[in-house]
């Protein structure tokens, strides 16, 4: 009969041994959010120091803010009349 516990222990030891070999060769690092090159793990924001990546991150930030504002306006336009009519105000339309 097969000893499942012994097999499970052997497999877990093999996996842990392989993980430790792999992690011993790779230093802690992160990748630039824009171009993907290796950067220091402590860098914040998570981009490299190139002008192109800095400009792209700034553009993304502006786009994110604009999308947040547009979503808020959409929610107000969509749910505003529903809320007003539920509160008893007449909505002309």
What does the pLDDT read at residue 92? 66
Domain count of the fold of the chain: 1
Question: Is 29 a domain residue?
Answer: yes
**Beta-bridge partner residues of 38:** 31
Question: Is 91 a domain residue?
Answer: no
Q: In a structure prediction context, what are the per-residue pLDDT tens digits for the chain, which is 93 residues long?
A: 678 888 888 888 777 776 666 666 677 788 999 999 999 888 888 899 899 999 999 999 999 999 999 999 999 999 998 998 999 887 665
What does the pLDDT read at residue 68? 98
Domain, as residue range, for 51: 4-86
Q: What is the pTM of this model?
A: 0.56
Phi-psi domain of 84 (left: phi exceeds 0; alpha: psi -120 through 50; beta: other): alpha
**Angstrom distance (rounded) from CA 66 to CA 89:** 31
What does the pLDDT read at residue 78? 93
Question: Is 79 a domain residue?
Answer: yes
Question: Is 13 a domain residue?
Answer: yes
- Cβ-contact 46, 30 below 8 angstroms: yes
**Angstrom distance (rounded) from CA 77 to CA 23:** 52
The answer to whether the peptide bond before residue 59 is cis (omega within 30 degrees of 0) is no
């Amino acid at each position: 009969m097969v000893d499942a516990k012994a097999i499970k222990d052997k497999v877990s030891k093999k996996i842990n041994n392989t993980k430790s070999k792999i992690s011993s060769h790779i230093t802690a690092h992160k990748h630039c959010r824009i171009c993907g090159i290796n950067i220091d793990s402590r860098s914040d924001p998570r981009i490299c120091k190139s002008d192109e990546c800095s400009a792209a991150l700034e553009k993304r930030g502006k786009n994110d803010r604009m999308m947040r504002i547009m979503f808020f306006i959409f929610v107000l336009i969509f749910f505003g009349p529903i809320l007003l009519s539920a509160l008893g105000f007449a909505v002309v339309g």
